[in-house]
Amino acid sequence: MRRTVLVVDDNEKIVEVLAAYLEAAGYEVVTAHDGEAAIEAVRARRPDIALLDIMLPGVDGIELTRRFQRDYDLPVILVTAKTEEIDRLIGLEVGADDYVSKPFSPREVVARVKAVLRRVDRSSATSAGETIVVGDLVVDTARREVTVAGEKVELTRTEFEILATMAAHPGRVYSRLQLLEAVSGDAFEGYERTIDAHVKNIRKKIGDDPKEPRYIRTVFGVGYKVEAPS
Amino acid sequence: MRRTVLVVDDNEKIVEVLAAYLEAAGYEVVTAHDGEAAIEAVRARRPDIALLDIMLPGVDGIELTRRFQRDYDLPVILVTAKTEEIDRLIGLEVGADDYVSKPFSPREVVARVKAVLRRVDRSSATSAGETIVVGDLVVDTARREVTVAGEKVELTRTEFEILATMAAHPGRVYSRLQLLEAVSGDAFEGYERTIDAHVKNIRKKIGDDPKEPRYIRTVFGVGYKVEAPS
DNA sequence: CAGCAGCTTCACGGCAGGTTCACGCGGCGC
DNA sequence: GCGCCGCGTGAACCTGCCGTGAAGCTGCTG
C-alpha cells in the first residue's frame, strides 16, 4: 500500500523540495504551513508519518508531536534549525521517532522516513492484500475475479484492467489517458472515448447507474474514479 | 535539450574538476570564481542550475541563492566546506534545492545535479498527487477533492484548477492571465474577468466573504492569492 | 475458413457548467 | 466632492462533455 507523508514547514521552498523528493520515492505527500493546518491535514488524510518543523506559526512542532502521538499514534520526525535545540528536545522526551537538523539534504530526510516506516511496519504485522474491497465490490487481482455483494461478475480483460486500476486507489481520479495507458501497456494510440464504452459495460455488469453511481463516479471534464457511496 | 550548469567556487582546482565531470556527463558548463562574476554569468547565460560554494569572495553563496531564486527561479545546489559552517547556515531555508558538504566525490555532485534537474522538470510539468492544506482548507489533487473544516465541497473542474493552482503556493499572487493559463492549458483566449466569476463561485462554495476573506484574498490591480488568515 | 466474442469507433441527444455581459458599488486620485 | 478604475454579482447564452446504442473491425478458436 502506498504510504502518505505529512510535511509541515512554514518555509514554502522547503516544503516544495521535500514533497518532490518524497513523491519521487513513491510516497503520497500532504503539506501544511502552520500548526492548525497540520492538525486539519491529519484529521482529513490520516498520514502514515509526519515530518514537523519545530518552529511553526500557531501550534508548534513539539505540541503537535504530543498531540499526534496521543490521538493518532502517528510516527513523527522532527526537524530543527539549531543543533542545540536537539539536546533540549532529547531532554524533554517529547516522543518523536527521529530528529533531523538543518541544514539537511533531502535525500537524508527520505532515508529517515523510510527507516522509521520500516521500523513501525515490523512492529505491527504487515498485511499485503492483493484484494481490494470497496463497499460491496471486491476486486481480486490475483484470481482476476470481481464480485458484487458476493455475486461473481464476469469481466473481459480490458474491463478488469480498468476497474482494477481505479480500485487500487479508491477516491483517486484517473484520466482517460491514464486508463488507456493502464490497459494497453503504454501505447498512446486509441480513442479516449473508448474508455467511456468500457466503463459503460462495466457499470452494466456490476449494476451501477451513472446518475447515482455506487462505485464508478464520473468526474466531469477529467475522468473517472472508484469510490464507496457516501 | 542541452542543459547548462553554473559552477562557482574560488578554488580553481575544484572548479576545474567539477567542470570536467559535468562536461563528461553531457552538460554545458559555465564557471565563475566570485559572487559578482556569478551574477553576471547568470544574466548572460541563463544556466539551468547553479552549483555554489558558500564561502565566496564578494557576494557569498547564501546571498546568491536568495537572489537567483527570487530573480530567475534558478535551482541551486549549495556546497559547504567546513562542518562548522553548517551551524551558521540555515540550509534549505534560504531556498537551495539540495546541499553537498566537502569533501565530496565529483560523481556524487553530478548525480545530485541530475536529480534536481529531473525533479524540476517534473514539477513544472504537472503537480499531481499532492495534498495541500491551508488552515481549514484541504485541497487533494489526487482525488480532486476539497474540504473545508472536514466538510466536503463540490467544485467544478475549472474551479478546482484555479483553487489548486493558487493553493500550491500559499501567499503567492497570481494574475488573472496566469490563472487562465492554468485552467485552459495555455490558450491565451478567454476573458480575464471570467476568472472573477469563478472566484466568486469558489468563494460561495467554500464559504468565503470577499470583505473578510479566510482563504482567497483579492490583490487589488493584480489578481488573487490563497492565504491562511493571520 | 467460418463464426464469434470483445474491442474500438462513430454519431447524436441532453444537459451541466463555462463564458460572457451589464450593472452597481467602493476606493482612490485629482 | 466628483469621476474613474476595478471588483463583485446574477442572469442568460452556448459550448463542449458524457451516456448510449449500433455498427465495423480484429483476433481467436474450432
Q: How far is the CA of A40 from the C1' of C27 (A)?
A: 36
The SS3 of residue B181 is: helix
State which H helix or E strand residue B66 sits in: helix B61-72
Q: Searching chain B, which residue's CA lies closest to the CA of residue A225?
A: B143
Q: Which residues contact A22 (CB under 8 A, 6 or more apart)?
A: A5, A7, A29, A110, A113
Q: What is the mean pLDDT of chain B?
A: 85
* Chain B neighbors of A107, CB-CB under 8 A: 98
Q: What local confidence, expressed as pLDDT, does residue A91 receive?
A: 45
Nearest to B130 among A31, A44, A169 (CB): A31
How far, in Å, are A1, A75, A157, B56, B188 from residue A132 at the CA level? 11, 26, 17, 57, 43
Q: B8 pairs with which residues across the strands?
A: B32, B52
**A154 is written with which cell numbers?**
464476469
Is A17 in contact with B149 (Cβ distance < 8 A)? no
Q: What mean pLDDT is predicted for residues A173-177?
A: 90
A211 touches strand C (CB under 7 A): no
- With distances taken from each CA to the C1' atom of nucleotide C7, the closest residue turns out to be A158
C-alpha dihedral sign at A96, A101, A107, A108: negative
Query: For strand C, which residues in window 171-230 of chain B come within 7 Å by CB?
Result: 183-184, 189-191, 193-194, 197-198
**Residue A230 · residue A134 · CB < 8 Å:** no
- The residue ranges of DSSP E strands in B82-222, in sequence order, are 98-101, 130-134, 137-140, 145-148, 151-153, 173-175, 216-219
**Residue B211 · residue B155 · CB < 8 Å:** no
CB atoms within 10 A of CB A223: 20
Q: What is the mean pLDDT of chain A?
A: 85
B158 touches strand C (CB under 7 A): yes
Residues of A contacting chain B (CB within 8 angstroms): 11-14, 16-17, 19-21, 23-24, 28-34, 36-38, 40-41, 43-45, 81-83, 102-107, 169, 171-173, 219-222, 225
**Residue B33 · residue B9 · CB < 8 Å:** yes
Q: How far apart are CA A78 and CA A98, in angstroms?
A: 6
Q: What local confidence, expressed as pLDDT, does residue B126 receive?
A: 46
Q: Which residues of chain B have pLDDT under 70?
A: 81-94, 121-129, 185-188, 230
The SS3 of residue A5 is: strand
Q: How far apart are CA B58 and CA B134, in angstroms?
A: 39
pLDDT 10s digits, A120-170: 766 554 334 578 898 899 999 888 889 999 889 999 999 999 999 999 888
Q: For chain A, how long is the longest CA-to-CA vector?
A: 64
The SS3 of residue B171 is: coil
CB pairs < 8 Å spanning A and B: 124
Q: Which of B73, B199, B203, B139 is nearest to A33 (CA)?
A: B139
Q: What local confidence, expressed as pLDDT, does residue A31 receive?
A: 95
Pairing of strands A174-175, A223-226: antiparallel
Q: What local confidence, expressed as pLDDT, does residue A11 receive?
A: 86
CB atoms within 10 A of CB B219: 11
Is B92 in contact with A40 (Cβ distance < 8 A)? no
pLDDT 10s digits, A37-78: 999 999 999 999 999 998 888 898 889 998 998 889 899 998
Q: What local confidence, expressed as pLDDT, does residue B188 receive?
A: 64
Q: Which residues contact A14 (CB under 8 A, 6 or more apart)?
A: A53, B92, B93
**B3 is written with which cell numbers?**
542543459
pTM: 0.76
How far, in Å, are A1, A16, A34, B12, B221 from residue A110 at the CA level? 18, 14, 21, 33, 42
Q: How far is the CA of A156 from the C1' of D30 (A)?
A: 21
Q: What local confidence, expressed as pLDDT, does residue B147 receive?
A: 93
- Phi-psi bin for B33: left (phi > 0), alpha (psi -120 to 50), beta? alpha
Q: How far apart are CA B143 and CA B131, in angstroms?
A: 9
The SS3 of residue A26 is: coil
